[in-house]
Amino acid sequence: MDIDLLVGQALSNGASDLHLEAGLPAALRIRGSLRTTGDPIPGKQLLEMARNVLGEEQWPQFVERRSYDLSKTIHGVRCRINILQTSRGVGFAIRLLASFQATVEKLNLHPDLKKLVGAAHGLVLLSGPTGCGKSSTLAALIQEINLTDTRHIVTIESPIEYTFRPRRAFIRQREVGRDTPSFEQALLDSLREDPDVLMVGEMRDPETMRLTLSASETGHLVLATVHSSSCAEAVQRVVSAFPAEIQSGVAAQVADSLLAVISQRLRYRPDLNIRVPECEILVATHAVKNFIRNREFFKIASALETGAEHGMWSFQRYRTWLDNRKSWHVPGQSPEPLDNEPGEAEVPAARPPVFPIHVKAARAEVNPSPSDNPRVGPGAGRIEIEPCEGEFGKILKRPGE
């Protein structure tokens, strides 16, 4: 069994993520629930998979850092792959991205989001927890510009998840680690590359945030993501990432450049058998800018609740709109060709047969019943494996350790 077959199995079962760990069965995340399938995968097999996926050129970097990020097209689907060292050996965390070109309509987003990318300059923040679809929404906003305006777009990502074919816009995509050494260097370079739109895949540290804010103040439209659960928290997180003595200046900088904040989470719709984005949208009105400038972040929530006339949406109002919506885009109902860059696309392989998933969704239990214990009672199906460094540690340890 190789990585292509496992990804094909995940694709056939409609999974969004695939997790592989030495000595454990493959785990699929289907509609938000984690399920296991198949037999345990030997550690040697995963180690060989990792070397094949990375190649001899990237393998030393993995040995040094004990993790590596990359993207790859498998079975016609773009996959974001993280390879990591764990206590059992080598593991994989694979995100299967949408096989269609992301747009506002195809992601079932509110059409008001299109207005946010019409500005010539400023900052649009996209927030939410891991796995909530931030990258897809970001790609949909970039595609909206690509289809409607003649602007120069530079994206900085780690790794590149969605590839764009230039339509009306001129698009350059740079991958951190492959095309540029860091987000900071790419942002510094971008100011000499005459961009109209900058897309920053993730603001991870204060230096990246500082350069992103500076770019949004110097005549560029900047789209960036940050991890948070609400719009107010997203703004507060950016400001609080800096030392206390300069937070007042950073808050003023954010207030001056901010256009909007989108906070997103996914909600499963049983009637459609899909997960749809549920959003909170904060528009930077004069009142909101004053709250940010004075660091009164607790007042943003009330401004958002009463800001419908300015195009703001609370989670509750947005949920009501979703409940009343009649037309939906359901992926897979109408096949379409991939919209990839030349050379990126691969010929889709024949889909493997659907493998049945027999094990129930994995869940943590505080007090498991005796019937759930493989050592007590017949017919239990849980697998318990003690961490074992074994040969993986010997292979991956640096010389001299």
Buried b (16+ CB within 10 A) or exposed e, 193-209: eebbbbbbbbbbeeebb
Q: How many Å apart are CA 121 and CA 197, to the nearest integer?
A: 8
Q: Would you state the pLDDT for residue 191? A: 86
Domain 3-99+363-396 has CATH 3.30.450.90: yes
Q: What is the pLDDT of residues 248-262, one digit of tens each?
A: 999 999 999 999 999
The residue with greater pLDDT, 124 or 382, is: 124
Cα–Cα distance for residue pair 150/264, rounded to 1 Å: 28
pTM of the complete model: 0.74
Residue 132 has what pLDDT? 87
**Tens digit of each residue's pLDDT (9 = 90 or more) over 337-364:** 444 444 344 334 344 444 444 443 434 4
Q: Which of 94-98, 172-176, 330-334, 355-359 shows the lowest mean pLDDT across its residues?
A: 355-359
Separation CA 225–CA 159 (nearest Å): 14
CB-CB contact of 46 with 92 (8 Å): yes
Quick one: which of 164, 107, 51 has its CA closest to 330?
Answer: 107
Beta pairing class for 17-20 and 90-96: antiparallel
pLDDT recorded at residue 178: 86
User: What was the pLDDT predicted at 19?
Assistant: 95
The reported pLDDT for the residue numbered 51 is 93
What's the pLDDT band for 383 if we cut at 50, 70, 90?
very low
| The CATH number of domain 111-324 is 3.40.50.1240 | no
Residue at 228: amino acid letter = S
The rounded mean pLDDT for the chain is 84
Q: Rounded to an integer, what distance in angstroms lies between the CA atom of residue 14 and that of residue 274? A: 10
Is 247's pLDDT higher than 70?
yes
Separation of alpha carbons 242 and 252, rounded Å? 13
Mean pLDDT of 4-25: 91
295, 75 in Cβ contact below 8 A? no
Question: Residue 334 has what pLDDT?
Answer: 55
Instruction: For residue range 121-180, list pLDDT tens digits in order.
Output: 999 999 998 888 898 999 999 999 999 999 999 999 988 888 899 999 999 999 998 899
Helix (H), strand (E) at residue 81: strand 77-85
Q: Which residue has the tokens 């990258």?
A: 135
Residues ≥6 apart with Cβ < 8 Å to 191: 215, 218
Where exactly are the structural domains of the chain?
Answer: 3-99+363-396, 111-324
